[in-house]
């Protein structure tokens, strides 16, 4: 900026002035969001204030507008927190996530809803589903697939028996560290705790660096971190949140075998999300056990030129559901092209359930 002062005192005065301006504008924004909330409840007393499609649009716009020097993701993260605080002013969102505290799922929940949401750890994926179904919380966050290790079957299976809808997705880069406590004898590590998925994601590194150490699988990375606190000969593989929560030190950082290791999480709820302009749809389809079933199922997607982003098969759990396919594709169920495909699939399938259309993950 041309009128930016050059001396330290002048620069600090300028920063104070800018902070006052930013604060005034944030307050004005919060008032605006509050008025939106009032308008929503006037039309419908049961209205949900949180709008995933609108939040995705706000964040995408910020990323497009940003000219630096902060990078666009950083800028969007700041706005994520502003929106989170604005929303909490009216109605703090309650979120259940696959716990315990310190898991990557908690990190995904924070990334998606911001720090002002109230988040509650659950012991298992189906408990997250149950809490949302029972109305005890507004949304749930569960992992669904990892780029190295593949699909999380518990999550897919939970959808089969549930009426929950998918309202959003979050992709998180997963960095694992080898962690020890102050009491650990680093040269005597004979046991390493972690979640089986994390062991699988760090297998080569462990074979190279700790071939002799016993690998003990536990229910979560956070649990692994907790156990290390009490044993002088043990280490844990876990992420930053767990390390911070239990005050552990990183002996080796980013030990995952693949540098692009990431996990996709789903936001589940009981609301149908309108179009945001860049959306995905998830469906689960049962086909009859006959030759060419998979071809028949996929043919309409090909003909309407719809991009499939994922296809998973799960064993069926009832007579009708001979083959069960989970399919993700680009587009929203309200788009005519997508609606046409869904109609065709409906005719060919033994059963079709649309799990939801939702904004593509922004952050
Ligand atoms: C303000 C609104 O409500 C909520 C708050 C938002 C915000 O602070 O920008 C965006 C979407 C909603 O979660 C709205 O719907 O526009």
CATH of the domain at 284: 3.30.70.260
Instruction: Note the pTM of the prediction, 2 decimals.
Output: 0.92
Q: Where a domain ends, among 90, 114, 141?
A: 90
CATH code, domain carrying 243: 3.40.190.10
- Residue 29 near residue 335, CB atoms below 8 Å: no
- Please check whether residues 226 and 307 belong to one and the same domain: no
- Please check whether residues 295 and 239 belong to one and the same domain: no
- C-beta neighbour count of 68 within 10 angstroms: 8
Average pLDDT value for residue range 248-253: 96
Give yes or no for residue 86 CB within 6 A of ligand 1.
yes
The verdict on residue 127 lying in a domain is: no
Query: Which residue in 322, 297, 324 sits closest to 312, CA to CA?
Result: 324
The verdict on residue 285 lying in a domain is: yes
Average pLDDT value for residue range 354-361: 97
CATH code, domain carrying 47: 1.20.59.10
Predicted local distance difference test score (pLDDT) of residue 113: 97
- Please check whether residues 281 and 353 belong to one and the same domain: yes
pLDDT tens digits, 96-146: 999 999 999 999 999 999 999 999 999 999 999 999 999 999 999 999 999
Distance 77 CA to ligand 1 centre (A): 15
The residue whose C-alpha atom lies closest to atom 1 belonging to ligand 1 is 33
The verdict on residue 344 lying in a domain is: yes
| ipTM of the modeled complex | 0.94
Q: Quick one: pLDDT band at residue 55, thresholds 50, 70, 90?
A: very high
Distance 53 CA to ligand 1 centre (A): 9
What is the number of the ligand 1 atom nearest to the C-alpha of 29?
Answer: 8
The verdict on residue 238 lying in a domain is: yes
The verdict on residue 291 lying in a domain is: yes
Distances (CA, A) of 340 to 280, 301, 303: 15, 10, 11
The residue whose C-alpha atom lies closest to atom 4 belonging to ligand 1 is 50
- Please check whether residues 244 and 313 belong to one and the same domain: no
Q: Is residue 356's pLDDT more than 60?
A: yes
Distance 107 CA to ligand 1 centre (A): 22
The verdict on residue 109 lying in a domain is: no
Distance 16 CA to ligand 1 centre (A): 28
Predicted local distance difference test score (pLDDT) of residue 46: 78
- Please check whether residues 298 and 357 belong to one and the same domain: yes
Give yes or no for residue 139 CB within 6 A of ligand 1.
no
Q: Where a domain ends, among 238, 259, 280?
A: 259
Instruction: Look up the domain containing 14 and give its range.
Output: 8-90
Give yes or no for residue 93 CB within 6 A of ligand 1.
no
What distance in Å separates the CA atoms of residue 69 and residue 285, rounded to the nearest whole number? 47
What distance in Å separates the CA atoms of residue 159 and residue 268, rounded to the nearest whole number? 10
Q: Quick one: pLDDT band at residue 4, thresholds 50, 70, 90?
A: confident
User: By mean pLDDT, which of 46-50, 238-242, 342-346 is the weakest?
Assistant: 46-50
Predicted local distance difference test score (pLDDT) of residue 37: 86
Higher pLDDT, 90 or 26: 26
- Please check whether residues 240 and 306 belong to one and the same domain: no
The residue whose C-alpha atom lies closest to atom 14 belonging to ligand 1 is 36
The verdict on residue 98 lying in a domain is: no
Query: Which residue in 94, 277, 266, 313 sits closest to 166, CA to CA?
Result: 266
Predicted local distance difference test score (pLDDT) of residue 2: 52
The residue whose C-alpha atom lies closest to atom 10 belonging to ligand 1 is 55
Query: Which residue in 115, 111, 112, 140 sits closest to 126, CA to CA?
Result: 140
Share of the chain above pLDDT 70, in %: 98
Q: Where a domain ends, among 75, 90, 105?
A: 90
The residue whose C-alpha atom lies closest to atom 7 belonging to ligand 1 is 83
Average pLDDT, the chain: 93
- Please check whether residues 281 and 213 belong to one and the same domain: no
Predicted local distance difference test score (pLDDT) of residue 320: 52
pLDDT tens digits, 233-243: 999 999 999 99
Q: Is residue 252's pLDDT more than 60?
A: yes
Q: Quick one: pLDDT band at residue 47, thresholds 50, 70, 90?
A: confident
Average pLDDT value for residue range 246-253: 96
Distances (CA, A) of 1 to 5, 11, 31, 218, 249: 9, 12, 30, 54, 42
- Please check whether residues 362 and 276 belong to one and the same domain: yes
Average pLDDT value for residue range 7-28: 96
Q: Quick one: pLDDT band at residue 18, thresholds 50, 70, 90?
A: very high
- Please check whether residues 363 and 335 belong to one and the same domain: yes
Q: How many domains does the chain have?
A: 3
- Please check whether residues 255 and 306 belong to one and the same domain: no
Q: Is residue 63's pLDDT more than 80?
A: yes
Q: Quick one: pLDDT band at residue 5, thresholds 50, 70, 90?
A: confident
Give me 79's structure tokens. 């706005």
- Please check whether residues 276 and 253 belong to one and the same domain: no
Residues sharing a CB contact under 8 Å with residue 104, sequence separation 6 or more, in sequence order: 143, 172, 174, 221, 239, 241, 263
The residue to mutate among 51, 267, 358, having the most atoms of ligand 1 within 8 angstroms of its beta carbon, is 51
Predicted local distance difference test score (pLDDT) of residue 111: 96
The verdict on residue 163 lying in a domain is: no
Give yes or no for residue 131 CB within 6 A of ligand 1.
no
The residue to mutate among 44, 76, 83, 85, having the most atoms of ligand 1 within 8 angstroms of its beta carbon, is 83
- Please check whether residues 277 and 211 belong to one and the same domain: no
Share of the chain above pLDDT 90, in %: 81
């Amino acid at each position: 900026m041309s009128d930016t002062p050059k001396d330290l005192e002048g620069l600090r005065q300028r920063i104070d002035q800018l902070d006052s301006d930013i604060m005034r504008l944030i307050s004005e924004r919060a008032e605006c969001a509050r008025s939106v909330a009032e308008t929503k409840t006037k039309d419908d007393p049961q209205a949900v204030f949180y709008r995933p499609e609108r939040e995705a649009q706000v964040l995408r716009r910020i990323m497009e507008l940003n000219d630096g020097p902060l990078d666009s993701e950083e800028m969007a993260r700041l706005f994520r927190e502003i929106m989170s605080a604005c929303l909490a002013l009216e109605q703090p969102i309650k979120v259940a996530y696959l716990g315990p505290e310190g898991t990557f799922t908690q990190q995904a929940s924070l990334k998606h809803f911001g720090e002002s949401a109230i988040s509650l750890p659950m012991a298992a994926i189906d408990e997250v589903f149950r809490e949302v179904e029972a109305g005890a919380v507004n949304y749930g966050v569960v992992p669904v697939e990892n780029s190295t290790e593949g699909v999380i079957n518990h999550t897919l299976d939970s959808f089969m028996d549930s009426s929950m809808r998918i309202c959003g997705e979050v992709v998180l880069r997963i960095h694992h560290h080898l962690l020890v406590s102050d009491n650990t004898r680093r040269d005597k590590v004979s046991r390493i705790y972690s979640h089986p998925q994390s062991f699988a994601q760090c297998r080569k590194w462990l074979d190279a660096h700790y071939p002799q150490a016993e690998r003990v699988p536990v229910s979560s990375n956070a649990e692994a971190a907790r156990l290390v606190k009490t044993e002088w000969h043990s280490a844990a593989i876990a992420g930053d949140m767990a390390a911070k929560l239990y005050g552990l030190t990183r002996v080796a950082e980013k030990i995952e075998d693949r540098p692009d290791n990431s996990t996709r999480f789903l936001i589940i709820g009981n609301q149908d999300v309108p179009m945001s302009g860049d959306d995905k749809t998830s469906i689960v389809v049962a086909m009859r056990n006959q030759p060419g079933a998979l071809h028949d199922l996929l043919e309409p997607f090909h003909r309407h030129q719809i991009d499939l982003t994922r296809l998973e098969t799960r064993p069926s759990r009832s007579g009708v559901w001979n083959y069960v396919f989970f399919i993700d594709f680009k587009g929203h169920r309200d788009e005519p092209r997508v609606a046409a495909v869904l109609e065709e699939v409906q005719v060919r399938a033994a059963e079709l359930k649309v799990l939801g259309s939702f904004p593509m993950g922004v952050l």
